[in-house]
Structure 1
Amino acid sequence: MNLPNLLTLCRFALIPVYIVFYSLGHIKTAFAIVVLAGATDVLDGYLARKRGQITPIGIMLDPLADKCMMVTVVVSLLVTGRIPWEAAVAMLFRDAGMIIGSAFFHFRGKRTVPANTMGKVATVLYYLAFLFVFFDQSLGIAILWSAIGLSFLASFVYIFLFKSINQETQSHDNQG
């Protein structure tokens, strides 16, 4: 087990910690846990690339940890009335599609596509939206909808890239 994968596992462990603090009304601490999870995401990706420790399990678990934390935050914000149900449904639909699609193709031996710039910008927008939503600032919902729109656009790019990379691999395999 390398350090980047250990950091990814820590993100999974932060989910129940977040739930406890949010449920108890410790909003600032809950938000700090979300930020900590985001920081471990950035750090594990950096370390994996810098140290050459990118692993198949890391490629699978890293986005899953991110999606699980994101879904947890969205559900908690929805249940407490901080975000509209339409935004939560859009986010959960997109994330569920990404998780199911990634798992389906991963277990069929298809190559996956790493995060692109658009997806990373959408993630930053989500964190910014969460900052405003957690602290009851009206701009938060507008930023959230911007992040949702950009994340769907990023998903279309992922689908295109996924299709392209796997067609190239299939063509190469058929020629060899």
Structure 2
Amino acid sequence: MKINSKEFLTVSNLLSLLRLLLAIPLWILFDFYNSVYSVKYWLFALCVFAAITDILDGFLARKLNQVTEAGKIIDPLADKIAMAVVVIRLAMYGELPLHYLAMIVIRDVLIFFGGIYVTSKIGKVLPSNILGKVTVLIIGIVVLLTLLQVDKKSLVFSSFYYFSIIMIVLSFIAYVIRAKEYLQRKKTV
């Protein structure tokens, strides 16, 4: 698989890169998480902005016919890194349980290395699937509710939290099944 610079420099890929770079101010802002109250609103705003860029980059890639192999790598990588930064920092402050952080990180690391393996075997990157996107969305809602200091025992928070755990597991299983299918197809061709 070869990626050229023209394929790399598309509007949708640049939005994904912007989202990837948002990990830096997100990490820095968390240094002031407990000392400056308004920082939670800034973090919330940056997370919403990251979500908007995620929706927009996918829409533009399809609308402008700019779906690229580079984009299939950058988009989910930006999602995973931005989300990991926020979840790691929230876990560091005791706002999210460590097992929740572990589930997210382990899932993402396994998918990342599995993706590298599958790409090396079939010669192309597996595109993100809807189940993975929904999982990131639900985890994002848990993060936003946490930043808004919603009571963790409330029905709203609990519902999204436990639904996100189910989605983490289901999306990983779906990814493994899909990867196996692509590998099987490659063997039969």
TM-score (normalised: structure 2): 0.83
1:42 aligns with 2:55: yes
1:91-142 CA-to-partner distances (Å, cap 9, x unmatched) read: 1111111122212332444444322232222222112111211122124355
1:21 aligns with 2:34: no
Q: Of 14, 20, 23, which aligns to 1:6? A: 14
For 1:151, the equivalent position in structure 2 comes to 168
Between 138-147 and 97-106, report the one with greater CA deviation.
138-147
Equivalent residues of 2:23, 2:85 under 8 A apart: yes
TM-score (normalised: structure 1): 0.89
Structure 2, unmatched stretches of 5+, are: 1-8, 34-38
1:58 aligns with 2:71: yes
| Number of equivalent positions | 172
Q: Of 80, 83, 88, which aligns to 1:70? A: 83
- 1:103-118 to 2 correspondence within 5 Å? 103-118=116-131
1:23-65 CA-to-partner distances (Å, cap 9, x unmatched) read: 2221110121111111111111111111111111111111111
Higher relative contact order (CA 8 A, sep 6+): 2
Q: Which 4+ runs in 1 deviate beyond 6 A?
A: none
Letter in 1 for 2:94: G
Equivalent residues of 2:83, 2:140 under 8 A apart: no
- CA separation in 1, counterparts of 2:87 and 2:51? 15
SS in 2 for 1:144: helix
For 2:109, the equivalent position in structure 1 comes to 96
- CA separation in 2, counterparts of 1:117 and 1:3? 22
Structure 1, unmatched stretches of 5+, are: none
Compute the RMSD of aligned alpha carbons: 1.7
- CA separation in 2, counterparts of 1:144 and 1:160? 25
- CA separation in 2, counterparts of 1:20 and 1:44? 25
